[in-house]
Structure 1
Amino acid sequence: MDMESALAALSALSQSTRLDIFRLLVRHEPDGLPAGDVARHLDTPQNTISTHLAILSRAGLLTSRRHSRLIVYRACLPRLRDLMLFLVKDCCAGSPELCAPLIATLSSCCPSPQACP
């Protein structure tokens, strides 16, 4: 992950409703949720949720697929993993054993290294 991608993802997550959406979708992996269900879970108007979903999608944090008349959104866990690893990559100042447990935890929580579509 490069600086520009990290900033886009962090910017998208820096708003409370978008952070709530992302965390909700992480909890509903791997199936995801339709936009209407996201709106109901968060008790937020659907047009507001749609705007937030678009911002998160542009930042690469969500994927979507059409299922009949519904669009189902999923959290992009490999992108989250890349962001977290980007944030802590140089945290140890030459002593990797200090943050090895953190990196190992991040690596194991999102096992699929493949990119989101």
Structure 2
Amino acid sequence: MEPKAAIDAFAALAQETRLSVFRLLVQTGPNGLTAGDVAASVGVPASTLSHHLGILERAGLLRSWRMQRQIFYATDYEGTRRLLAFLMQDCCQGRPELCGTGLTDLAACCPEQVP
């Protein structure tokens, strides 16, 4: 991951509503939630939420897909892995195996994406 992409991802998460949305969708898993369900869960009007979802999606942290008239949102696990790998790439003087199994466990926790 390029530093600019990492900065964009961190900037996207550096806002309370977007951080809440991201955490909610991480907890929800790869099937995601409709935009309406996300709005209800975080207590934000749909018009405001749309802006936040767009920022998270452009940062590579969320993905969306349409099913009939509904738009679903879920964590982009590959984008999230890239961000975490960027953070940890120089761990322990370039020897991440010394950091323990944390990175391996982290990669295993992110399920494969659906739709």
1:44 equivalenced with 2:23 (yes/no): no
TM-score, L = length of structure 2: 0.89
Provide the TM-score with structure 1 as the length reference: 0.88
Structure 2 gap ranges (5+) = none
CA distance in 2, matches of 1:65, 1:108: 24
CA RMSD of aligned residues (A): 2.0
- Structure 1 Cα separation of the partners of residues 94 and 25 of structure 2: 35
For residues 17-96 of structure 1, the aligned pairs below 5 Å read: 17-96=17-96
Residue 103 of structure 1 deviates from its aligned partner by: 1.6
1:110 deviation in Å? 2.3
More helix per residue: 2
CA separation of 1:103 and 1:36: change in aligned 2, threshold 3 A: same
Structure 2 CA distance for aligned equivalents of residues 94 and 80 of structure 1: 20
Q: Is the 8 A contact 1:85 1:106 kept in 2?
A: no
Compared with structure 1, are the counterparts of its residues 100 and 111 closer, same or farther at alpha carbon in structure 2 (3 Å cutoff)? farther
Superposed displacement of residue 94, structure 1: 4.5
Shift of 1:111: 5.4
Correspondences of 1:91-102 after superposition (within 5 Å) = 91-102=91-102
Alpha-carbon distance in structure 2 between the residues aligned to 1:94 and 1:61:
25
Consecutive unaligned residues in structure 1, runs of 5 or more: none
Structure 1 range deviating more: 74-83 or 92-101 = 92-101
Moved over 6 A (4+): none
Moved more, 99-108 or 16-25: 99-108
% identity of equivalent residues: 50
**CA distance in structure 2 between the partners assigned to 1:95 and 1:65 by the alignment:** 38
Distance 1:11 1:80 in 2: 14
